[in-house]
Amino acid sequence: MPNVENESESHINPAANIQADVGAPPRNEGVPIPPAPVALDAAMVEAIRSVVAEAIAGLTTQGNQPTPVVPTAQAAISNDYGHAGGGTYNQALKAISSMRPDSYDGTGEPVKVSYWFIHIERLFRNIMCTEAEKVHIASLQLRGGASEWWENTGLANHPGLNWNMFKTKMIDRFFSRAMREEKRKEFLYPDNRGLKVTELAAKFNHLLHYSGPDMMSEEQKIWHLNEWMSADLQALMLRHGCTTLEQYVDAAFQAEVVLEKKESSENIP
């Protein structure tokens, strides 16, 4: 007679028969059976391999990539500046030439050499080139006595000559320290007797370039020009409220007109 109890139990729990057949240990009650892994076809496997390979290649390339170098003109000028060899140097020279740089011949007001350097350095701001190349390009703009001085001093053959040395040598030659000091004293202690406001402003702007770097702010310019004014004008300009030199000159001119009208009315018999 068949064992109904065992047969019923096997019918209700088929997993028990499978475990008995394969000899697997009985599973714990309440633990879910994990899902079977998804079968991958050949196309999916190849796609995954391709993505991983690309990622690894990218990381390797990024790690081995050299640090970017900012392009600059080639240091291909000989010590005597006899020739320019680098293509980028030629580009820098062409760029400067296209801006029509001012030349300098060593004549005129001594401060002219300072103006010339301001002009040349402004052109160099957006052009990448070495110190030696700057000196070479700037020396090409020298004319007359300045060019003769450059050739006769032998500075062109100096292997360690940089831009600051070139600038200092030029200014000391054409705008001597003694002359700069003399002009500075004239600025600080001027003789302005009988000068109108417009004349004072013109003289002030001329000597301002000899005053030194400490006179660059508008506030300092206004203060010194005010010191140049007569006592009567200073009294009228006591509360001028100007923030630029140009505003102060305009206000001083108006104050001078008022003062002259007042003096004229007082002199009428």
Banded pLDDT at 24 (limits 50, 70, 90): very low
Supply the Cα-derived Rg of the chain in whole angstroms: 43
Nearest to 136 by CA among 93, 86, 87: 93
Dist. CA 118–CA 209, nearest whole Å: 12
Banded pLDDT at 72 (limits 50, 70, 90): very low
For helices 197-208 and 245-267, the axis angle rounded to 10 degrees is 150
Number of Cβ atoms within 10 Å of the Cβ of 194: 6
pLDDT given for residue 173 in this prediction: 94
Banded pLDDT at 104 (limits 50, 70, 90): very high
Banded pLDDT at 262 (limits 50, 70, 90): confident
Dist. CA 225–CA 192, nearest whole Å: 11
Which contacts of 162-165 are long-range, i.e. CB under 8 A and separated by 24 or more positions?
162/131, 162/132, 162/135, 163/131, 163/134, 163/135
Dist. CA 136–CA 80, nearest whole Å: 9
HSE-up (13 A, CA, CB side) for residue 232: 11
pLDDT at 90 over 60: yes
Report the pLDDT averaged over residues 40-56. 63
Residue-averaged pLDDT of the chain: 76
- Cβ proximity of 141 and 104 under 8 Å: yes
Most confident of 42-51, 86-95, 233-242: 233-242
Higher pLDDT pick, 17 / 44: 44
Least confident among 49-53, 85-89, 107-111: 85-89
pLDDT at 30 over 70: no
Higher pLDDT pick, 127 / 173: 173
Dist. CA 243–CA 245, nearest whole Å: 7
SS3 142: strand
Dist. CA 151–CA 145, nearest whole Å: 10
Q: Which amino acid is at 43?
A: A
Higher pLDDT pick, 66 / 181: 181
